[in-house]
Structure 1
Amino acid sequence: MQNPDTPAISGNSGPNGQWFTSSTSRQWWFDSGARALDFAYTGAMGDNPAWEKLHSPSDFAQWLEGRFEASDGTVSERDLTDARGLREAIATIASALSVNETPDLKQVDVINLFAATPDVPPRLAGGGMKAGRTTVRTSQALSSMAREAVFLFGAEQHERIRECAADDCALVFYDESRSNNRRWCSMQRCGNRAKVRSHRARNAAR
């Protein structure tokens, strides 16, 4: 569910979240709460080499098509280099904010530079004229994710950037819930394990 205070992301965005593979080869679903954080988790965040998804321009093109329905599917080597730079900036700042540290100013500049470029313009469906491009270029997609990061990391929202409460998990997410009380990267993963440990502790106490 999207936070009602979150601005609509243009470009017909797809759903948040993606499948991860653990160090024990188990697959599980992680919803970071935001497309920009999903992007960071294509390889810049986390310590599992299997999470790296952007090995080539075609890999990035495929990822974009899952997040921007109108993506034109064209990604160059330069685009991939730019994407990795923005991805690192988002990952670095999100990690810092999740533990109440001050973001790296150079990485802030990187996000601001991408956010200053043209993003995906909003379009109202139903018109007879085709004004502007109907497809999303890679540079526009990067700008849209940078602008989302500006919102997420801003003064009014950055406290919702959190690290999973499990002692053995450092995954970072944006809490988009109305109650602002999300604790776990996934209820099916860390949340469930916490419940099991709590249940065993209660039984032992009895």
Structure 2
Amino acid sequence: MPVTLRGSDGVSYRFDPGALCLEFVTTGGSVVYPRYELLHEPADLSRWTAESRLGLDRVETTPEQLGRAKALRAALWRMAADRANGRATAPADVAAVNEAARLPPPVPEMDEDGRTARLAPATGDQVVSAIARDAIDLFTGPYADRMRECAGYGCHLLFVDTSRPGRRRWCSMERCGNRDKVRRHRAQSR
């Protein structure tokens, strides 16, 4: 599910990270990319879950749960970057994901008609659990070796290359892919 991101130049573009856990990584970071931080208060996690692949529009989050979500995000960022760049994964990051996955996940329920399923109202910890479980599926599944870091100059977005040939290089063709082509054209024109 593509998300809309805004670059430091203010231009919006579509980006499909390919997995819920990598979609969550794009919510910012206090250490790596503080200017992109989206999770300032508990209500921000609730807003993100409504717009994410989870589609949960009823999430109650405490400040402590938001802290756990940010800690998970930092571990996921490091793990995905390590995997994309052929480095070993830090045991502490694996432990953080495993610990988060042990929390109870969101619970499905049926609508009154008995024909439609949805997720019941959830807590911030249930969201954290769902993200961690998605990460376990990704890091141990068939696309584990298809995590990539964008090849665009100065871009470090992480994504799963789900293309058939496995040759995706950029976070977004309309942004980094196009910029790379313009750069190469200008270099050839000189």
After TM superposition, is the score higher than 0.5?
yes
Compared CA separation, residues 139 and 71, structure 1 to 2 (3 A):
farther
Q: How far off its partner does 1:77 sit?
A: 0.9
**CA displacement 1:70-99 (0-9 Å, x = unmatched):** 442311111111111111111110111111
Compared CA separation, residues 121 and 75, structure 1 to 2 (3 A):
closer
Preserved contact between residue 143 and residue 162 of structure 2 (Cα < 8 Å): no
Please tell me whether residue 34 in structure 1 is matched to residue 19 in structure 2. Answer: yes
- Counterpart of 2:40 in structure 1: which amino acid? H
Q: 2:6 aligns with which of 16, 20, 34?
A: 20
Preserved contact between residue 46 and residue 171 of structure 1 (Cα < 8 Å): no
The match for 2:132 is: 146
Q: 2:38 aligns with which of 53, 56, 62?
A: 53
Please tell me whether residue 87 in structure 1 is matched to residue 73 in structure 2. Answer: yes
Preserved contact between residue 37 and residue 173 of structure 1 (Cα < 8 Å): yes
**CA displacement 1:130-169 (0-9 Å, x = unmatched):** 9997323322221111111112212632211111122432
Count of residue pairs the alignment pairs up: 189
- Counterpart of 1:141 in structure 2: which amino acid? V
Please tell me whether residue 99 in structure 1 is matched to residue 70 in structure 2. Answer: no
Q: Secondary structure of 1:153's partner?
A: helix
Compared CA separation, residues 52 and 201, structure 1 to 2 (3 A):
same
Unaligned runs of 5+ in 1: 1-14
Q: 2:64 aligns with which of 75, 78, 82?
A: 78
- Counterpart of 2:150 in structure 1: which amino acid? C
Unaligned runs of 5+ in 2: none
The match for 1:44 is: 29
**CA displacement 1:54-77 (0-9 Å, x = unmatched):** 111111111122223344231111
CA distance in 1 between partners of 2:31 and 2:59 (Å) = 27
CA distance in 2 between partners of 1:36 and 1:60 (Å) = 14
Compared CA separation, residues 164 and 70, structure 1 to 2 (3 A):
closer
- Counterpart of 2:142 in structure 1: which amino acid? E
Compared CA separation, residues 46 and 35, structure 1 to 2 (3 A):
farther
CA distance in 1 between partners of 2:117 and 2:164 (Å) = 36
RMSD over equivalenced CA pairs, Å = 2.8
CA distance in 2 between partners of 1:70 and 1:167 (Å) = 35
Preserved contact between residue 61 and residue 74 of structure 1 (Cα < 8 Å): yes
Q: How far off its partner does 1:175 sit?
A: 1.3
CA distance in 1 between partners of 2:16 and 2:106 (Å) = 23
TM-score by length of 1: 0.78
- Counterpart of 1:78 in structure 2: which amino acid? E
Preserved contact between residue 18 and residue 38 of structure 1 (Cα < 8 Å): no
The match for 1:9 is: none
TM-score by length of 2: 0.84
Preserved contact between residue 21 and residue 50 of structure 1 (Cα < 8 Å): no
Identity over aligned pairs, percent: 34
Q: Secondary structure of 1:29's partner?
A: strand
Q: 2:104 aligns with which of 114, 118, 126?
A: 118
